[in-house]
Structure 1
């Protein structure tokens, strides 16, 4: 499977710690060839950016974000693209902060036009 992420909006399925992306965060993806980027905002994140590469269904990103408390964060994220039974896209992610402590896993799923 190699579904393009270009033009898709994805959101986390659960909240994480304060200052991290959460269910109110929306991430708009762009993809051309093997380059993937995204802009995101919402919840505790004022603005964030992802940039990275794609090899088949594996994404390798660096991220940087500005939080509502005025602090910034950056790190590394690896995601696996999964197609859900209803045809939407899910990214299963492993991330690690580089500007400070923190590491974990997360899941983001494609937001449809009728979803919140």
Structure 2
């Protein structure tokens, strides 16, 4: 299996994949007028122009082209896999390649989602950022969102945590952070800090440093719903998930109260501001 760049002589192949997918899959999600709109949008001229000016990729499986996808600057478009071959991971493979191309020059990826691909994009860490609506010539309505995904950018090979949001996935019983607690991280060189609140926590702050493996060494303090001031220290180890988001595996200890220790997990969330 190979992923190759499309040439003009591949026009009919690209067109066939797009048209076949739209005519077969889209009627299950959209009214007739919207299906016709998609076919018109992906007309011969637009497909040909895309091959000439954009990065259009093809998935070649034993000499058979089974899917296509395009990127222009930091935008992904025209990701289609032949209907009879969907669910076999080809869409994921072409998205991986398109994202890796964009990641070389940009800090985020944008795309317009179609309903058949919505779950794929959500599972890959994309978040809706803008709602749009198009009235088709026969008055059917196409509603869709523009979606965005931040690329895990690095500084000198390290994760850049700046302006990332996290929420709690799990915590031991002696902790006070819960799924209602939201963290906003900031970074300047090796210094990392965050504000957090929600659930049992009225307001909290943490500050620390990032080492050469992007591990985070923090101290933290917050005021809880009881009006108590709690303080502690925490070591967070990052893991990049398949969807591109960051998971932090944390070992922490209170430095007041009972001085007990615990462990927790927080993951990057889809919050957009």
TM-score relative to the length of structure 2: 0.40
The reply on whether 1:82 has 2:239 as its aligned counterpart is: yes
| Structure 1 contact 19–45 (Cα < 8 Å) conserved | no
Q: Which structure has greater helix proportion?
A: 2
List alignment gaps of at least 5 residues for structure 2. Answer: 1-156
Q: In the alignment, what sits opposite 1:112?
A: 270
Partner deviation per Cα, 1:52-95 (whole Å, 9 max, x = no partner): 01102211000001001111100110001111110000110000
Moved over 2 A (4+): 14-19
Aligned length: 114
Conserved? CA contact 1:20–1:44, under 8 Å = yes
Q: Which position in structure 1 is the counterpart of 2:209?
A: 53
Aligned partner of 1:71 in structure 2 is 228
TM-score normalised per structure 1: 0.91
Within a 5 Å distance, the mapping from 1:13-24 to structure 2 comes to 13-14=169-170, 16-17=172-173, 20-24=176-180
Going from structure 1 to structure 2, the CA distance change for 1:40 and 1:5 (only over 3 Å counts) comes to: same
Asked if residue 92 in structure 1 is aligned to residue 242 in structure 2, the reply is no
2:197 match: 41
CA RMSD between the two structures = 1.7
Deviations 1:23-74 (A, max 9, x none): 0000000011000000000000000000001102211000001001111100
The structure where strand makes up a greater share of residues is: 1
- Partner in structure 2 of residue 8 of structure 1: 164
